[in-house]
Structure 1
Amino acid sequence: MDPRLFLADLEAKPEALRRLAAALADGDAWHGLPDRVERVLLLGMGSSRYAAEMAALRLRAAGVDAVAEYASAASTYPPGPRTLVVAISATGTSQETLDATSRYQGSGRLVALTNTPDSPLANVADLVVPMHAGVETGGVACRTFQHTLVLLLALVARLTTRGGADLDRRDVAGLARRAADATEDLLARRDAWLPVTAELLDGPHGVHALAPAERLSSALQSALMVREGPRRPAVGCETGDWSHVDVYLTKTLDYRALLFPGSRYDAPALDWLRQRKATLLAVGAEVADATAVLRYHGDDDPGVRLLTETLVAELVAARWWADS
């Protein structure tokens, strides 16, 4: 792991996203799925599972029986001929994910979503969906996380669309291109916003990231980047749940909050944060009384937010890591 190479991986995000968008526009990444799917099981660990939770929620909202499971779980859905199992691992070597796939080989359809098409995970799968993220030389899953989100959105479109799959594939490709533009905007203007943001979040008790359930992956991934690179304490929390599980710390800590707005329950969290005089950075939307607000190109689109907003914490983490 290397902070300079990690930063280079982040700087390559727009180009990699545009390559992925082109691949999606050219063909169906999920071609080869069975015609009838009654249940979807998404398996992964770490950031792979964060992305899977987003997709499972969207599938359930469309009436599809779907769950994102820790690959390390001792038991989950049993194998079945109409169960689609998607095992997610950027390297294709996550031991927990490999162990979990052994239950499903030879039953139903086992798909590997991976950035390494010749990996052990790919070798046991019926179908391999490549992430097209390129090699992450910094040793941190950043582009692969972003690409996993995009490809899972394409899977959701594939499984929930009847008669318009080509159009929806193009819609996801268009979203990836808009996210590339948004990512490029944040990167181009970082000299203006990054020093202030890094200072604002630099407290003695870590970073506390909040996001709505639909984009909880943003909070969890942001916290992971702060832990994995500079090795600082950080946690992610769903905004509504925050008022039940994390609000207590605002009374005793120098609380530094990174808020990704958009939850129906932003208001209660913001009320507590103001009362306790917490430091608050809001990303992607105007928030009254926030210590600072960071906007970027296209942030009025929830899909663009989903694919882009973690870059803020990633760049802060890269800066702190390089300075450590």
Structure 2
Amino acid sequence: MDPRLFLADLEAKPASLRRLASTLTGDVWRGLREPVERVLLLGMGSSRYAAEMAALRLRAAGVDAVAEYASAANSYPAGPRTLVVAISATGNSQETLDAATRYQGSGRLVALTNSPDSPLADVADLVVPMHAGTEEGGVACRTFQHTLLLLLDLVDRLTGAPRDGAGLARRAADATEDLLARRDEWLPRASDLLDGPHGLYALAPVERLSSAWQSALMVREGPRRPADGCETGDWSHVDVYLTKTLDYRALLFPGSRYDPPALDWLSARGATVLAVGAEVAGAAAVIRYPGDDDPGVRLLTETLVAELVAARWWAASI
């Protein structure tokens, strides 16, 4: 793992997204056996974060879907109309491999991976490549973004919604490019605001909870600092207590109808809030970018703020 290579991986995001967009003009899920009545998404770490967002959207459309820790001892049994998508960027995650073998030979096992020649691909009935390129920094950043996009495309395919994966990828590339180009304007301030003695705390609505989880993971994985992610509504039940005793530094991804009570507590207890993607009263700073009024663009773009902060802290620590 190398912070300079991690930064280079982040800088390559726009070009990588545009390459994926050209792939999404076709049906990357071609060969999927239908009909599908139940969807099981398996993964660990950021793979599971992305899977949770897809499962939520499938359930909202009436599809029986769950994102499962691949390490779970048991889950849904294989069935003639159960689609299993095992997600692993490297294709070598042991937990995901172990879980996938339970469905090997079912005719319904799909490997979503950045390594089409990996052990996970070998046991799958269908392989869907992430097309994220090699992440030289050793941190899943582009693969996380590509996993989200591909799973959103799967949601559209299974629910009959208009397929806009290519367009969304291009819009996310434009937004990502903008944040990268203007980083000298916002990154030093963001890094200072979030640089407290007690870690970083990310809040996001349930529809984009992966942004909070991934942001915290980037801070733990790169600079190895304490960080946690929480759903905004749940925050008032499980994390609010820390604001009374810690120098609380919040990275807020607005959009939840429960933003106001969380912000009331954060303000009353003198917490520092950095908001991304929308104006927030009382925030110490707000970072905007083109397309931040589009929920899909937000989901795919907003984690870049924490990723660049993490890269900056990581480089400074060496």
TM-score, structure 2 normalization: 0.99
Distance 1:176 1:295 in 2: 18
Runs (4 or more) in structure 1 with deviation over 3 Å come to none
- CA RMSD across the alignment: 0.7
Q: Which whole-Å deviations, capped at 9, do the CAs of 1:51-109 have from their partners, x for residues lacking one?
A: 00000000000000000000000111111111100000000000000000111112240
Q: Is the partner of 2:229 in helix, strand or coil?
A: strand
The equivalent residue for 1:15 is 15
Structure 2 portions without partners, runs of 5+? none
Q: Is the partner of 1:299 in helix, strand or coil?
A: coil
Counterpart AA for 2:292: D
Q: Which whole-Å deviations, capped at 9, do the CAs of 1:136-187 have from their partners, x for residues lacking one?
A: 00000000000000000000001000xx7xxx33x12101100000000000
Counterpart AA for 2:87: I
Distance 1:282 1:66 in 2: 31
The equivalent residue for 2:267 is 274
Structural mapping, 1:88-107, within 5 Å: 88-107=87-106
Distance 2:107 2:247 in 1: 51
Distance 1:83 1:277 in 2: 49
**Conserved? CA contact 1:13–1:180, under 8 Å:** yes
Counterpart AA for 1:68: A
The equivalent residue for 1:137 is 136
1:189 equivalenced with 2:188 (yes/no): no
1:40 equivalenced with 2:39 (yes/no): yes
Counterpart AA for 2:15: E
The equivalent residue for 2:215 is 222
Distance 1:238 1:70 in 2: 18
The equivalent residue for 1:118 is 117
The equivalent residue for 1:259 is 252
How many aligned residue pairs are there?
A: 317
Structure 1 portions without partners, runs of 5+? none
Q: Is the partner of 1:67 in helix, strand or coil?
A: strand
Counterpart AA for 2:202: A
Counterpart AA for 2:249: R
**Conserved? CA contact 1:182–1:296, under 8 Å:** yes
Distance 1:276 1:131 in 2: 43
1:235 equivalenced with 2:234 (yes/no): no
Counterpart AA for 1:89: S
The equivalent residue for 1:151 is 150
Q: Is the partner of 2:260 in helix, strand or coil?
A: helix
Q: Which whole-Å deviations, capped at 9, do the CAs of 1:272-303 have from their partners, x for residues lacking one?
A: 00000100000000000111111111111111
Q: Is the partner of 2:274 in helix, strand or coil?
A: strand
TM-score, structure 1 normalization: 0.97
Q: Is the partner of 2:273 in helix, strand or coil?
A: strand
**Conserved? CA contact 2:34–2:81, under 8 Å:** no
**Conserved? CA contact 1:79–1:108, under 8 Å:** no
Distance 2:237 2:226 in 1: 20
Structural mapping, 1:60-99, within 5 Å: 60-99=59-98
Distance 2:123 2:135 in 1: 23
Q: Is the partner of 1:87 in helix, strand or coil?
A: strand
**Conserved? CA contact 1:200–1:279, under 8 Å:** yes
Counterpart AA for 1:218: S
Counterpart AA for 1:151: L
**Conserved? CA contact 1:284–1:305, under 8 Å:** yes
1:322 equivalenced with 2:315 (yes/no): yes
Distance 1:199 1:274 in 2: 19
1:4 equivalenced with 2:4 (yes/no): yes
1:298 equivalenced with 2:294 (yes/no): no
**Conserved? CA contact 2:107–2:125, under 8 Å:** no
**Conserved? CA contact 1:92–1:115, under 8 Å:** yes
